[in-house]
Structure 1
C-alpha cells in the first residue's frame, strides 16, 4: 500500500509536483487546495465556503486556542495559516517542501494583512530545526498523507510541541488494511498522480499516537461531509479536458504529466465511491 522509492525520491516528487502545479491548483481549486466540508442537508454550499468551513471545523475539533503559536506543517499556499492568524489571532509558521508554495503563501499573507503574524519557509516536516517544546499547536491539514514515515512525523511533532500542546490533523485515510488487489492498484495510481507516499486507516494513527506517548487521542471520520469535493472537482475538470487548446497550452507550460494529473480527479472520485479512500481527523495532546 506504499509508494515505491527512497524518502529523497518521494520528497523530490512532492517538491516537483507542487512547484510545477501551484498556479494550476489555485486556478482550479481556489486558494484552499483541500477538501470542503458540507452539511449533509446543504450540499449546495459553494465550494470555496465549504473549504473555509473545513479549516473552521478542524480548528474547533482540535481546540486550537486563541493566540496560540502554531506550526502549519505542510502549509500549501498559506490559506489556512491566513485564516488562523486572522480569525483566532494565532501566530503561524508554515513549512513546506515547495519553494513556489512559500512564495505564494508569503504573497497571500501580505495581501490579507497578516504578514506580521505569519511566516513561511522550506523545510522537511519529519526533521525540523525547531527546538523542543516550541509550539502550542501543530496543524496538519492534508499533509500527513505525503509523509513517507508517518511514525517519524508524529514523533517529530510530539518533540516540538510544548507540554500540553495539541496535534491537529486532517488526512486522507484508507478504509482499512484489508484491501483487495484492485483497490490497492487504485490507491497506488493516486499515490503516483498526487505525489502521495501512502495512506493508512484512521485507527492506525490513533494507535501510533498512543504508543508514542500522546494522550487524549480523539478521532472522527468526516468522509460523508467531504466526498462532494470530488464530484465538484470532476465537474470542473471535464470541460477542460474537452478543450484541446486549453490542454495543449497546459502541456506546453507544465509538461505531458498534466494529462495524468487531470485524469486523477475522476480516479479520486472513484476511490471515494468505492469506499477505498476515506477522510479522517484526529487530535492528540503532549503530556504536560
Structure 2
C-alpha cells in the first residue's frame, strides 16, 4: 500500500514502541551532540551568530514571547525531552511545569536536570501519552509543545487533548516541523519518509493545516509564523558535528556495539534534514491559540 508523507508512517502502538526504544537507547548520544536543548536553534536576522547552544535557548525565548507565556503559569510540557524547556520556564518565569514523555530515560534525565537547577519543587516529569493524559479538564494555563507534534500519530487528537486540559483563556504553543505544502513531488515525499524512519516520527503537515485544525477544535486567536529561515542553520552546524563521528570507523563501531545498528540511521538523518531544508521540502512553523473563556 502506498503511503503519503502527510499521513502516519506507523500504527500508534508501533510508533510508541519505536519512540521509546529510540530515545531510551540514544539519549546520551543526542545530548552529547546537541546539548541539553535537543531542538532547533533560532538565529535572529542581522544579529551576530551567538553559537549553537545560545541559539537553542533563543528559540525557547522566542516561543515564550510568541505566546506570551505568563510569569508563574502552570504549564504542561507535552513531549518534554530531557527537561530543558521545563527547567527554563521554571527558572526564568517561575512557572510550575509538568513534563510528559514516552521515554523513561528522559524522565530520569529531566528530573536530574531540574534538581541541579534547583527547580525540582516546580517541575514534575512523568511517563504519559500526550494523546491520552490523566489530567482533569481546565488544568493548565499553557500547553507547550516544542518539536513534539511531529511525533504525534493523530494530530487532531493531540490538539483536542491540549484544548481539553487548558483552562479557559489558556494558551496553546506549538513549534513543529512542517511540510512545505500538500503538493509534494514523489521524490520530495520519499525524502520526508526517510526522515520519518530515521528520526522515528509519525508525519508532518503544512503549517496552515495545523491552523485549520486548531480553528476546527474551537480554539481562537489562532496565529502562525514560519521560522524556517531563522532555524535552518541548525542543520548546517549539525552536519559539521557528526562528520568526525562518521569519518572515524573506530568511533562508528564503538557506537554500534553500544547502541546497535540503528546508529547508522541516526547519523544519516542529519544530512537528510539539511537536504530537506535546502530543497524547501521541510519547514519550521509555530502556532499559538487560545481556549475560549
**TM above 0.5, one fold?**
yes
Aligned residue pairs total 288
Root-mean-square deviation over aligned CA pairs: 0.7
Matched, 1:263 2:268: yes
Q: Match for residue 142 of structure 1? A: 147
Deviation at 1:42, TM superposition (A): 3.3
8 Å CA contact 2:10–2:202 kept in 1: the answer is no
Match of 2:173 among 165, 168, 171: 168
8 Å CA contact 2:8–2:202 kept in 1: the answer is yes
CA distance in 2, matches of 1:79, 1:186: 30
CA distance in 2, matches of 1:244, 1:112: 37
CA distance in 2, matches of 1:182, 1:102: 37
Please show how residues 248-287 of structure 1 align to structure 2 within 5 Å.
248-287=253-292
CA distance in 2, matches of 1:140, 1:3: 19
8 Å CA contact 2:69–2:142 kept in 1: the answer is yes
CA distance in 1, matches of 2:231, 2:84: 18
CA distance in 2, matches of 1:267, 1:216: 35
Deviation at 1:281, TM superposition (A): 0.1
8 Å CA contact 1:221–1:279 kept in 2: the answer is yes
Q: Scaled by the length of structure 1, what TM-score is found?
A: 0.99
Deviation at 1:240, TM superposition (A): 1.0
CA distance in 1, matches of 2:84, 2:207: 25
Q: Match for residue 27 of structure 1? A: 32
CA distance in 1, matches of 2:121, 2:115: 8
CA distance in 1, matches of 2:153, 2:10: 10
CA distance in 2, matches of 1:131, 1:44: 43
CA distance in 2, matches of 1:40, 1:273: 18
Question: Runs of at least 4 residues of structure 1 off by over 3 A?
Answer: none
Deviation at 1:5, TM superposition (A): 2.6
Unaligned regions of 5+ residues in structure 1, if any?
none
Deviation at 1:263, TM superposition (A): 1.0
Deviation at 1:253, TM superposition (A): 0.4
Match of 1:239 among 228, 244, 259: 244
Matched, 1:156 2:161: yes
Please show how residues 23-102 of structure 1 align to structure 2 within 5 Å.
23-42=28-47, 44-102=49-107
Deviation at 1:6, TM superposition (A): 1.3
8 Å CA contact 1:3–1:191 kept in 2: the answer is no
- CA offset digits 1:101-145 (Å, max 9, x no partner): 000000000001100000101000000000000000000000000
8 Å CA contact 1:3–1:188 kept in 2: the answer is no
Out of 34-43 and 212-221, give the one that drifted further: 34-43
Partner secondary structure for residue 279 of structure 1: strand
CA distance in 2, matches of 1:174, 1:43: 29
Q: Match for residue 226 of structure 1? A: 231
Q: Scaled by the length of structure 2, what TM-score is found?
A: 0.97
Deviation at 1:27, TM superposition (A): 0.1
Q: Match for residue 18 of structure 1? A: 23
CA distance in 1, matches of 2:287, 2:227: 11
